Amino acid sequence: MIKVAILGASGYTAVEAIKILLRHPEAKIVAVTSRQEGSPPISTVHPSLVGRLELPLEDLSPEEVGTRADCVFSCLPHCASAELIPQVLAAGAKVIDFSADYRLDDAATYLEWYGHEHPDTGRLGTTVYGLPELFRKQISGATLVANPGCYATSAIVPLAPLVKSGLFETEDIIIDSKSGVSGAGRSPKLMTHFPECNESMSAYNVGRHRHTPEIEQMIRRHAGARPQVIFTPQLAPMDRGILSTIYIKPKGKVAEEDVMAILRQAYTGERFIRIVDHLPATKDTVDTNFCDVTARVVSGRVLLISCLDNLVKGAAGAAVQNFNCVFGLPESLGLL
């Protein structure tokens, strides 16, 4: 059994990771941390865990966590995560980082988008981006994995094979995404107060959402050219799910079946990427680690539509998939 600890266990991605790990035959949760006083049972914060996980929420040092566990899932916010991870790694544990801290290659982009100096610049550019479908080899055996952003996964999965094919413009890629509210985290705010966002759709952070540079970096890596991406995140009145509608221009004429063939070929044998003929709904993927993708050609543009569960394939499921990959386990263990 591989011993796992969860840093920052009071939020939604953490509880999702816990639920998946409780089903995982090779993982054992040994610690869950939080700055709650008095080490209350985790079920006081997550009542769905009553009778399922009896651990207390402890306020542990990173060294202690890294010593107790073989692998640490860091569900801390960005910046906070990179401040502790070096010490967790130093204590000998491997780390799957849910935050954005190790996703970008360079400190300048991080500073530009996150507004402060990166606390651990030395690991930028060498940490693997945790999308096993694209970077399986590098993840296998890694000590630190940067778990991708939920929107980013929904965009990169369909876009990567297309831009890699050389058949598409990398300028003027439009990503119009709609997300469930759990993506905004568990801290109560007016924007996510039920009577405010229920029965409503709205855009937010237009042109400045922090998953943008992550998407651009991955397109650049696959296309070999600096892309121009417009990313519009939108809040939908539902708990979970991301629907991304992506518009990309072919350099020449392209048929729907050709685009589908590129997608199918790229993800042949991939357990968690489903290239489907029908128009997928987020609900088809909710509570699963699947990402459903289809393509349409309309008026000379290619539409890519992708769906996933932001808390599973967009966070905790991807993390467990990375965990399996890091420890040489079957990649779908605990995830089906």
Residues 237-266 that bind a copy of itself (CB under 8 A): 237-241, 243, 245, 247
- For CA atoms 180, 111, 212, 124, the dihedral sign is negative
Question: Tokens representing 95?
Answer: 């780390």
When asked if residue 40 is in the footprint of a copy of itself (CB under 8 A), the reply is no
Give the angle 86-30-122 at the CA atoms, nearest 5°: 10
Out of 91, 138, 287, 333, name the contact with a copy of itself by CB under 8 A.
287
- The residues annotated with a catalytic role in the active site are 150
d(CA 314, CA 288): 10
Say if residues 96 and 147 touch (Cβ distance below 8 Å): yes
* Contacts of a copy of itself in 63-122 (CB under 8 A): none
Residue type, 77: P
- Judged by beta carbon, residue 63 or residue 169, the one nearer a copy of itself is 169
Out of 80, 169, 271, 333, name the contact with a copy of itself by CB under 8 A.
271
Q: How far is the CB of 327 from a copy of itself (least distance, A)?
A: 21
Interface region with a copy of itself, contact rule CB under 8 A, candidates 48-56, 87-95, 127-135, 136-144: 48-56
- Contacts with a copy of itself by CB under 8 A: the residue count is 75
- Judged by beta carbon, residue 127 or residue 177, the one nearer a copy of itself is 177
DSSP 3-state of 21: helix
When asked if residue 315 is in the footprint of a copy of itself (CB under 8 A), the reply is no
When asked if residue 124 is in the footprint of a copy of itself (CB under 8 A), the reply is no
Distance of CA 235 to the CA centre of its chain: 17
d(CA 327, CA 71): 9
When asked if residue 232 is in the footprint of a copy of itself (CB under 8 A), the reply is yes
Closest CA to 318 of 65, 114, 87, 139: 139
When asked if residue 8 is in the footprint of a copy of itself (CB under 8 A), the reply is no
Q: How far is the CB of 291 from a copy of itself (least distance, A)?
A: 11
Out of 72, 218, 286, 308, name the contact with a copy of itself by CB under 8 A.
286
| Residues near 269 by beta carbon (within 8 Å), at least 6 away in sequence | none
Say if residues 259 and 303 touch (Cβ distance below 8 Å): no
Interface region with a copy of itself, contact rule CB under 8 A, candidates 66-74, 114-122, 148-156, 184-192: 184-192
When asked if residue 278 is in the footprint of a copy of itself (CB under 8 A), the reply is yes
Give CA separation, 335 vs 50, 153, 288, in Å.
Answer: 22, 17, 7
Out of 112, 117, 126, 202, name the contact with a copy of itself by CB under 8 A.
202
56: left (phi over 0), alpha (psi -120 to 50) or beta: beta
- Judged by beta carbon, residue 135 or residue 267, the one nearer a copy of itself is 267
When asked if residue 12 is in the footprint of a copy of itself (CB under 8 A), the reply is yes
When asked if residue 301 is in the footprint of a copy of itself (CB under 8 A), the reply is yes
| Residues near 330 by beta carbon (within 8 Å), at least 6 away in sequence | 324
Q: How far is the CB of 73 from a copy of itself (least distance, A)?
A: 20
Q: What is the longest distance spanned by two Cα atoms in the chain?
A: 64
Q: How far is the CB of 20 from a copy of itself (least distance, A)?
A: 12
When asked if residue 236 is in the footprint of a copy of itself (CB under 8 A), the reply is yes
- Judged by beta carbon, residue 22 or residue 80, the one nearer a copy of itself is 22
β-pair type (202-203, 229-235): antiparallel
Interface region with a copy of itself, contact rule CB under 8 A, candidates 111-119, 147-155, 190-198, 257-265: 190-198
